[in-house]
Structure 1
Amino acid sequence: MAVSVATKTAWKLQEITAHSSNVSSLVLGKSSGRLLATGGDDCRVNIWSVNKPNCIMSLTGHTTPIESLQINTNEELIVAGSQSGSIRVWDLEAAKILRTLLGHKANICSLDFHPFGSFVASGSLDTNIKLWDVRRKGCVFRYKGHTQAVRCLRFSPDGKWLASAADDHSVKLWDLAAGKIMFEFTGHTGPVNVVEFHPNEYLLASGSSDRTVRFWDLEKFQVVSCIEEEATPVRCVLFNPDGCCLYSGFQDSLRVYGWEPERCFDVVLVNWGKVADLSICNNQLIGVSFAQSTVSSFVVDLSRVTKSGSVLHGLIRDDKPLVQPTPAGSSLRRIYDRPSTSCSKPQSRVKHNSESERRSPSSEDDRDEKESKAEIQNPEDYKEIFQPKNSISRTPPRNNEPFPAPPEDEPVTVKEAVKPSQAVDVQTPLPKPEHSDPIQRPPIASSTPITRTEPSVIPAARNEPIGLKASDFLPAVKNQNQTELVDEEAMSQIRKGHETMCVVLTSRHKNLDTVRAVWSTGDIKNSVDSAVAINDLSVVVDLLNIVNQKASLWKLDLCTIVLPQIEKLLQSKYESYVQTGCTSLKLILQRFLPLITDILAAPPSVGVDITREERLHKCKLCYKQLKNISNIVKNKSGLSGRHGSAFRELHLLMAVLE
């Protein structure tokens, strides 16, 4: 197995501030590899051209964070699913909302467009899979069978099947025309994060948090091979367009696999962190990742990557030569037929262990569509990329050159020049204080945009958003005399709680000054002790946010003090507290849990060893605290959104405690 030199093969292309709050999802267009869509906690979907610093278009209308995104094959449509379970389909060329699809009861975790029919599939935390007819705005079928969140959906290249991967460790294959399950593939021992069909053959790949990639034969319905050697969960996979190999995205690396026999052709070290999606453009692989409000893109030069067995690279660790890959043009298994007609409508329902249900078209009114809007942020890029209609490539010809490597192999960072504008909205959201409850966040900005055909006034009959009432800020305006009253009421609402917040922040600042005085002595343990003694969790959070950035500051002593505080943070109603608690706990588990379990499992020492006894005492204390926290983590691992996935990751790390 060859390990490529990182500086020559892979480089960072760009880093942008994609949203005004945390990024919650993203997806690359697979046809061009140049189109990027990001979804945020700000309830917006932003459209970008890879390696350009400015947002092309911003899509508003969702009232909860965007949890899942997908772009169709032609890169003309995009579908976005939110935390509340609503789905919106947008036409990028016409810059308008196309459909709103309502029916799921929880987070939308996965979406996919049918390759040629007007259908969208959605998978949710409610364990259901739904097939939607976009033209009729109705749910055609509901597929039941998974027992946990459905994390990934993929239509087969011929449009006849749908593959689903879920947290229940299973991969299922559904027959769309018959409306029933064809087969359930079992073998993974952790949540399955991703599935991908081979572009030509009856072959399916799946990647899991159990750190394995499995290949399944879709004729014989059996496992072809399994790659088990990896050290981190599989985050995304992508077949090479000619089907010769599979690219798998891991933490800080790209791995290139063959499956008959299973082998790793190449490993490319890429500093992309937790890579979220992959695409290919001009023999370059594009990988994208996100952290907080930042999105980073990376390039791997595939001409420098080994994609098949050869004399030079074709040795496994025991020095046995690899079997040469099947010559291009031949296939070990059946090839997909690709009909030119659209997907046939599902026939009568067939009862099975995993059932599917027919659904009638939705009778929802068009209110959601009227309140959803596509704001073109960058007209020049928009015209260049999305006009004229029916363009062959989603990207302009002059941009079809490969992305150049940085000079002298230095990483390139391009900061975003213009942030997505929010000035066109009727209302701007109030700044969110540190102590605000995320559940009460009013979806003001995205739910009340101006439309070209309507006055910039909320109609009197408008339904009120969840949380704060719209009338608290902008009641319906009927005549000029009421305008002043509106402004007065709006200002009084904004002033509410201002004095209380000032008192809270002043007290916090004073407490932080106390902690900083101890911190300046260089004693980290005493600094944390003083923060805990103040009995203000916000101060503990502020200090942990600093300490979390440098793992070398942590010692066992610090763990014993911090773990009881983490227990409180994980149960907090404040989103930022939970996030900090999760970060600290993950750091402790990765750095100290192996040490704690090893010391507790070691036989008692002969004689008196005070240092060892102290260490043993600290380990016992930490172990007891971690056991308490593990119950909280287990209970919260079923939560929706980013926190749910964070708790599920922690639950896996804490499995050794059980």
Structure 2
Amino acid sequence: MATPVVTKTAWKLQEIVAHASNVSSLVLGKASGRLLATGGDDCRVNLWSINKPNCIMSLTGHTSPVESVRLNTPEELIVAGSQSGSIRVWDLEAAKILRTLMGHKANICSLDFHPYGEFVASGSQDTNIKLWDIRRKGCVFRYRGHSQAVRCLRFSPDGKWLASAADDHTVKLWDLTAGKMMSEFPGHTGPVNVVEFHPNEYLLASGSSDRTIRFWDLEKFQVVSCIEGEPGPVRSVLFNPDGCCLYSGCQDSLRVYGWEPERCFDVVLVNWGKVADLAICNDQLIGVAFSQSNVSSYVVDLTRVTRTGTVAQDPVQDSQPLAQQSPHPSVPLRRIYERPSTTCSKPQRVKRNSESERRSPSSEDDRDERESRAEIQNAEDYTEIFQPKNSISRTPPRRSEPFPAPPEDDTTTAKEAVKPSTAMDVQFPAPNPEALPQPLVTTSTPAPKGDPAIIPATRNEPIGLKASDFLPAVKVPQQAELVDEDAMSQIRKGHDTMCVVLTSRHKNLDTVRAVWTTGDVKTSVDSAVAISDLSVVVDLLNILNQKASLWKLDLCTTVLPQIEKLLQSKYESYVQTGCTSLKLILQRFLPLITDILAAPPSVGVDITREERLHKCRLCYKQLKSISGLVKSKSGLSGRHGSAFRELHLLMASLD
């Protein structure tokens, strides 16, 4: 008699090289659980279909690393926020850029789509939360209240509220219609990384770096219960679609919790490390994690997981008696969301709590949108997932069969479903003058049997550069495809050039770092300036800008000429760093400079005062030189125009 095959509860699905440089963010489509979006330090957003090796689409336009990505519920739109504070929205069905939204002054840490209206919420390291109208390309509201970076945003299922979690250890609930905060939930003792609304009831869950999950009643605005003893910081939680339990993606495990009373139903070991996002489809939980340029996906069979009823023996947390459970667990204990049947109306404007940033489209915005593209990399998968808008129905992979589990006694994993090509694939990062040195991805070969499979980038993926990037733009009626030898020859040329650039930059940074370790900041800056590489100067200024106490007057005399170069740069991050440094100098030293220059001459010889007077005169001369540049750029529109106008006001005393 044949022995029945025992399948696993959890298994690794695949591992892919998602970007040419480090992956910085990723998100799963919650409707299908099969669509994955990744953002990288290469400033790209890439779209993938889970368990398929090839990139579907690559979205370009950002000029700094992509810090946050989010798909809307129908998985037709994607929004991505960058390190510089810019936000871009793409239409995936039409394969084009939809909007560029400018207004934040620092990294975009969190994004979310409104469930019904055409709105996007963004949270930033500048502590602000903004609600954007996608149709009119404008900011509808700005919510102020957090004192540190806003790490997670979620709209309520009925679209009336917005929950925010921040590094200031608080969770806040905002009323979208009134444009003000409804309630603040204190209690966490560490940064709050994630919040999730219950799919049906007025209940909110929050996870924190203090290793706790708290549940909040949204009728009484008080804590319901608290799960303690998580094995690490809580970064990813998800309610079951029917609301019976909460899943927590812990370090190398999935935990299933109830909250009235707080208890652990089950613990499933999954070797996913730090899981970044979770989704559920076909009674399977999909988890994704990233490390450097690789992204791994995992599957947990929820039919083999205890989600209610008996309590699992959790070695970390003692469960409470089941007698405390509700006698009718299927009956909601609190109010249920009323979802609108049509698109929600636009929020009313409240002057005291809102900030209008509406403006007519500028030439700068138009340029951003022209330079932002959605490149289809795999037409077959794209057609399967995104049908044209005039189609009767879409055919995304959301209704596909569950992922099959490998047999329990099979030494190989689900990696065998997609075997890497035996041909050599050379991968390398695209040249970006703003990027820091990244380790190069070298030749990849098929993984030995039994090891996790690294699926190499095939030629139609947006990994690295294409041969056409190195060829002159010649209009040919029908351009013939390059043979493999010619393509490899062209690629190697660019690869060698990039290696030289990165090696040189790494050497320069090592030189500056060696001086920095001696504790002499002035000499470190002098060495960076002497190298004549603005990217090294930018890296050093970004460190100095975070600690104002390191700045001295003699440091300003060295840095101001470099700031003038940065303000004229074509790179967004260079201009941003230059503005930040100049603002710091003006706030800390301009009053001192003007006072010393206006003071009457001293009697006798005072060498220290003479040296200080000489430095002030030199700084004043340099600031006067920069003031003309700042004045000319203060008329620009967008975020940089606002920064230059602020600098122009600060420099008014120079006249």
Class of the TM-score when normalised by the shorter of the 2 chains: 0.5 to 0.7
1:150 aligned partner: 150
Superposed, which structure 2 residues align to 1:252-651 within 5 Å?
A: 252-310=252-310, 317=318, 320-321=321-322, 323-324=324-325, 327=328, 329-349=330-350, 351=352, 355-361=353-359, 363-365=361-363, 366-387=366-387, 389=389, 395-396=396-397, 400-408=400-408, 410=411, 411-413=413-415, 429-430=430-431, 436=437
SS of 1:8's equivalent in the other structure is coil
Instruction: Say if 1:221 and 1:413 are closer, same or farther in 2 by CA, change over 3 A.
Output: same
160-169 vs 307-316, greater mean Cα deviation: 307-316
**In the alignment, is the contact (CA less than 8 A) between 1:314 and 1:322 conserved in 2?**
no
Distance 1:66 1:313 in 2: 41
CA displacement, residues 36-90 of structure 1 (integer Å, 9 cap, x when unaligned): 0001111111100000111011111111111000000000100011111111111
SS of 2:177's equivalent in the other structure is coil
**In the alignment, is the contact (CA less than 8 A) between 1:39 and 1:67 conserved in 2?**
yes
CA displacement, residues 317-369 of structure 1 (integer Å, 9 cap, x when unaligned): 47843544564652100000101232332324275xxx543432453332111
Cα offset, 1:230, TM superposition? 1.5
Cα offset, 1:94, TM superposition? 0.8
Distance 2:337 2:505 in 1: 64
Instruction: Say if 1:475 and 1:122 are closer, same or farther in 2 by CA, change over 3 A.
Output: farther
CA displacement, residues 569-610 of structure 1 (integer Å, 9 cap, x when unaligned): xx9999xxxxxxxxxxxxxxxxxxxxxxxxxxxxxxxxxxxx
Distance 1:226 1:319 in 2: 12
**In the alignment, is the contact (CA less than 8 A) between 1:138 and 1:362 conserved in 2?**
no
Cα offset, 1:269, TM superposition? 1.1
SS of 1:383's equivalent in the other structure is helix
Distance 2:287 2:311 in 1: 29
1:185 aligned partner: 185
Distance 2:125 2:501 in 1: 38
Distance 2:378 2:502 in 1: 38
2:85 aligned partner: 85
SS of 2:303's equivalent in the other structure is helix
Instruction: Say if 1:76 and 1:567 are closer, same or farther in 2 by CA, change over 3 A.
Output: farther
Cα offset, 1:251, TM superposition? 1.3
- AA of the residue aligned to 1:343: C
- AA of the residue aligned to 1:385: I
Mapped pair 1:248 → 2:248: yes
**In the alignment, is the contact (CA less than 8 A) between 1:180 and 1:350 conserved in 2?**
no
1:655 aligned partner: none
**In the alignment, is the contact (CA less than 8 A) between 1:79 and 1:87 conserved in 2?**
yes
2:164 aligned partner: 164
CA displacement, residues 263-292 of structure 1 (integer Å, 9 cap, x when unaligned): 111111110011000000100000000000
- AA of the residue aligned to 1:341: T
Cα offset, 1:256, TM superposition? 0.7
**In the alignment, is the contact (CA less than 8 A) between 2:26 and 2:38 conserved in 1?**
yes
1:129 aligned partner: 129
Counting matched residue pairs gives: 472
CA displacement, residues 100-147 of structure 1 (integer Å, 9 cap, x when unaligned): 111111111000000010000000011110100000011111111111
Distance 1:65 1:475 in 2: 28
**In the alignment, is the contact (CA less than 8 A) between 2:20 and 2:430 conserved in 1?**
no
Task: Structure 1: state its 5+ residue gaps.
Answer: 1-5, 439-445, 451-455, 458-472, 478-491, 509-534, 542-563, 575-630, 642-658
- AA of the residue aligned to 1:337: E
Cα offset, 1:413, TM superposition? 3.1
SS of 2:210's equivalent in the other structure is coil
Distance 2:341 2:362 in 1: 32
Distance 2:59 2:387 in 1: 18
Distance 1:90 1:318 in 2: 46
SS of 1:140's equivalent in the other structure is strand
Distance 1:536 1:85 in 2: 26
1:607 aligned partner: none
Task: Structure 2: state its 5+ residue gaps.
Answer: 1-5, 440-461, 475-492, 529-542, 549-572, 574-655
1:70 aligned partner: 70
Q: Structure 1-normalised TM-score?
A: 0.64
Distance 2:350 2:101 in 1: 22
**In the alignment, is the contact (CA less than 8 A) between 1:139 and 1:361 conserved in 2?**
no
Cα offset, 1:437, TM superposition? 9.9
1:511 aligned partner: none
**In the alignment, is the contact (CA less than 8 A) between 1:152 and 1:193 conserved in 2?**
yes
Instruction: Say if 1:87 and 1:407 are closer, same or farther in 2 by CA, change over 3 A.
Output: same
2:443 aligned partner: none
Cα offset, 1:635, TM superposition? 6.0
Distance 1:346 1:298 in 2: 40
Instruction: Say if 1:229 and 1:503 are closer, same or farther in 2 by CA, change over 3 A.
Output: closer
- AA of the residue aligned to 1:34: R
Cα offset, 1:400, TM superposition? 1.3
Distance 1:537 1:48 in 2: 37
Distance 2:400 2:501 in 1: 56
1:3 aligned partner: none
Cα offset, 1:495, TM superposition? 11
1:39 aligned partner: 39
SS of 2:280's equivalent in the other structure is strand
- AA of the residue aligned to 1:104: H
**In the alignment, is the contact (CA less than 8 A) between 1:169 and 1:191 conserved in 2?**
yes
Distance 2:401 2:520 in 1: 52
**In the alignment, is the contact (CA less than 8 A) between 1:32 and 1:281 conserved in 2?**
yes
SS of 1:368's equivalent in the other structure is helix
CA displacement, residues 356-393 of structure 1 (integer Å, 9 cap, x when unaligned): 43432453332111111111111001001112546766
Instruction: Say if 1:350 and 1:333 are closer, same or farther in 2 by CA, change over 3 A.
Output: farther
Distance 2:11 2:494 in 1: 49
1:483 aligned partner: none
Distance 1:497 1:90 in 2: 30
**In the alignment, is the contact (CA less than 8 A) between 1:32 and 1:394 conserved in 2?**
no
Instruction: Say if 1:270 and 1:106 are closer, same or farther in 2 by CA, change over 3 A.
Output: same
CA displacement, residues 454-490 of structure 1 (integer Å, 9 cap, x when unaligned): xx99xxxxxxxxxxxxxxx99999xxxxxxxxxxxxx
Among all aligned residue pairs of Structure 1 and Structure 2, give the percentage whose two residues are the same amino acid. 69
CA displacement, residues 465-522 of structure 1 (integer Å, 9 cap, x when unaligned): xxxxxxxx99999xxxxxxxxxxxxxx99999999988999xx9xxxxxxxxxxxxxx
Instruction: Say if 1:261 and 1:284 are closer, same or farther in 2 by CA, change over 3 A.
Output: same
**In the alignment, is the contact (CA less than 8 A) between 1:309 and 1:325 conserved in 2?**
no
SS of 2:70's equivalent in the other structure is strand
**In the alignment, is the contact (CA less than 8 A) between 2:8 and 2:408 conserved in 1?**
no
2:556 aligned partner: none
- AA of the residue aligned to 1:190: G
**In the alignment, is the contact (CA less than 8 A) between 2:21 and 2:438 conserved in 1?**
no
**In the alignment, is the contact (CA less than 8 A) between 1:54 and 1:416 conserved in 2?**
no
